[in-house]
Structure 1
Amino acid sequence: MEAHRIFFERPFDYKYAREYSGTLMTPTLWITAAYVILVFGTKAYMKDRKPFDLRRPLQLWNLGLALYSGAAFLIATKEILSTWFNKGLTATYTDINSFYEGTCGAWAYLFMISKYYELGDTAFLVLRKRPLLLMHWLHHLTTLNLVLAGYHYDTHLYSWLLWMNTFIHTLMYSYYLLASCGYRLPAGFAKKITTMQIIQFCIGLSILAHIGVLKLFTDREVHCNWRMWWGTVFMEILYLTLFSHFYYVSYIKDGGKKFVRDQNEKKQVKAQ
């Protein structure tokens, strides 16, 4: 199959894009295995070496992801609100074919592709010798495979996952961009982003619960097979657990001493 057809043929061919995404599933498993090996291999390699100064590449990286996320969020917002007003809220995560067609469809495909790109976040952490959390690398590799499968199997609840994720990533990568440029931002902003991520997972689980009820007790058409439903439920619970634990350790345990300590360490790094 020809990947260039997806972006250079008009109108956007969702059926072809779905078929092509299916050919990526096995290679992506190999990519995620290589990702884990490279991440921990590089981490071991960097153990006795000085961190790289990657400030300028990091700024460009964060700028690109902030701009992409903002554009994708605006395009998704238009399509979701249009479906909401015309067909009702439930249709926005059960039967929203228009989300995967035309301009929005191309951006939905880009969202899937962006999950490969975002694996690079980890390279900046490892090469700059920043803490590598289980939450970070596990979230990246599982999200990549889950989004790819969701796209291939025509899982319409992913319209909401894309919508929420791109909104949070717009704020998150903008925050990272400003921080990498040396701007001092309110200390509580990172805490608010983590809070929004936790809320995102709770909303996702609520949508999944409603979809489960619809599939069990109604004849309504729902674009979500049971395998994707169970897989997404598992991942959302996993993410909720990981991010909630991070929130507790960082902002609640011992009065949030870890958060204060991390902020002081960042100030020391900037002063050097």
Structure 2
Amino acid sequence: MLREAFTSVTKLHGYIISRIDTRVKDYPLMQSPVQMTGLLLAYVVFSVYVGPRMMANRKPFGLNRAMIIYNLSMVLLNAYIVYEFLMSGWATTFTWKCDLIDVSTSPQALRMVRVAWLFYFSKFIELLDTVFFVLRKKQSQITFLHVFHHSVMPWSWWWGVSLTPAGGMGSFHAMINAGVHVIMYSYYGLSAAGPRFQKYLWWKKHMTAIQLTQFVLISVHISQYYFMETCDYQMPLWIHVICMYGIFFFLLFSNFWVQAYIRGNRLPVADYKPSQNGATNGHIAMNGKHHANGHAHPIEDGKIVMGKVKEI
């Protein structure tokens, strides 16, 4: 019984390996789904179990300089990814409608292959977001949404890059996502730079609106497939997955919006001038939980009383 199961798994693994696009086989983390799945499982275990216990009796690390460098690097990387997606077809030859997967070895196709892999690999770099949370003891920021997004995104993208790296209309959501990350990491970098930059972060609320707009654009673009008379896209499964992904995350981020900005359960840090008793007049008290990888941080242990926020 065990031998048969092992044989079946081995055959499946061999079949998957045989289907990996030859244009991407030599790229890091593309030889097999085993390596990347192992890394992501280790990430989940570290984020939820190992990391918090490791830091339980330790003081939080002050990593502002590292976070500034990291966030600036991510701004530049994602800006480059957007540019490469544009030059690989979205600003040159694509119709923004039924753009098929390019299976050739033309310069444009190979350029799309490279940027598709780079986008995929950048998702592993983004796991450092959670490492910063753990090391700074901001465990409340490691929510289901956070861990799910950071683990499922690179896992699902391995299949896209391995089978259809020059993915045509299936690559649109990656370009949009990278563009949103340029804005997000700019915000995080400014936030990590210190109190003197807080006056430039009035647009925190709009970050969630930008995320929601992203998922609307992705869903609208990919849903064209269902209304076209003909579209011979070679991998319709990707269309369905991207559509479901866009709708699912739109609902998750909408729920965050309702909780944060309508019901007021999570409010952004507004100022860095707490009074001696830990409250601020019309501001949010700084209670030691104001940053996580540069995120202006929601209230964790405060309540609003007559326009003030007090610790409880």
Normalised-by-shorter TM-score class: 0.7 to 0.9
Distance in 1, matches of 2:102 and 2:207, equals 28
Distance in 2, matches of 1:201 and 1:64, equals 24
The answer on whether the counterparts of 1:83 and 1:96 sit within 8 Å (CA) in structure 2 is: no
**Residue 76 (structure 1) aligned to one of 48, 71, 85:** 85
Higher share of residues assigned helix: 1
After TM superposition, the structure 1 = structure 2 runs for residues 128-167 of structure 1, keeping only pairs within 5 Å, are 128-130=136-138, 131-154=141-164, 155-167=167-179
Distance in 1, matches of 2:102 and 2:259, equals 39
Distance in 2, matches of 1:194 and 1:24, equals 35
**Residue 247 (structure 2) aligned to one of 215, 231, 237:** 237
Q: Does structure 1 residue 116 correspond to structure 2 residue 124?
A: yes
Scaled by the length of structure 2, the TM-score of the pair is: 0.70
Shift of 1:89: 2.5
Instruction: Give CA-to-partner distance per residue, 1:111-142, whole Å, 9 cap, x none.
Output: 11111111111000111122222211110101
**Residue 251 (structure 1) aligned to one of 239, 255, 261:** 261
**Residue 235 (structure 2) aligned to one of 224, 236, 248:** 224
Distance in 2, matches of 1:239 and 1:123, equals 23
Shift of 1:53: 0.8
Q: What letter corresponds to residue 156 of structure 1 in structure 2?
A: G
Q: Does structure 1 residue 90 correspond to structure 2 residue 97?
A: yes
The answer on whether the counterparts of 1:18 and 1:151 sit within 8 Å (CA) in structure 2 is: no
- Aligned to 1:83, the other structure's residue is in SS state coil
Instruction: Give CA-to-partner distance per residue, 1:79-133, whole Å, 9 cap, x none.
Output: 312124xxx32145x4567796344542222111111111111000111122222
The answer on whether the counterparts of 1:198 and 1:244 sit within 8 Å (CA) in structure 2 is: yes
Q: Name the structure 2 match of 1:46.
A: 55
Is the alpha carbon distance of 1:54 and 1:265 closer, same or farther for their aligned partners in structure 2, counting shifts above 3 Å? farther
Q: What letter corresponds to residue 176 of structure 1 in structure 2?
A: Y
The answer on whether the counterparts of 2:212 and 2:253 sit within 8 Å (CA) in structure 1 is: yes
Distance in 2, matches of 1:185 and 1:134, equals 30
Instruction: Give CA-to-partner distance per residue, 1:194-230, whole Å, 9 cap, x none.
Output: 111111112222233222344xx52x3214332x333
Is the alpha carbon distance of 1:95 and 1:243 closer, same or farther for their aligned partners in structure 2, counting shifts above 3 Å? same
After TM superposition, the structure 1 = structure 2 runs for residues 260-271 of structure 1, keeping only pairs within 5 Å, are 260=268, 267=286, 269=288
Shift of 1:146: 1.5
Gaps of 5+ in 2: 1-20, 272-282, 291-312
Higher relative contact order (CA 8 A, sep 6+): 1
Is the alpha carbon distance of 1:232 and 1:45 closer, same or farther for their aligned partners in structure 2, counting shifts above 3 Å? same
The answer on whether the counterparts of 1:19 and 1:152 sit within 8 Å (CA) in structure 2 is: no
Q: Name the structure 2 match of 1:205.
A: 219
Distance in 2, matches of 1:118 and 1:48, equals 26
Scaled by the length of structure 1, the TM-score of the pair is: 0.79
Distance in 2, matches of 1:250 and 1:71, equals 32
Shift of 1:46: 2.1
Q: How many residues align?
A: 248
Is the alpha carbon distance of 1:185 and 1:111 closer, same or farther for their aligned partners in structure 2, counting shifts above 3 Å? farther
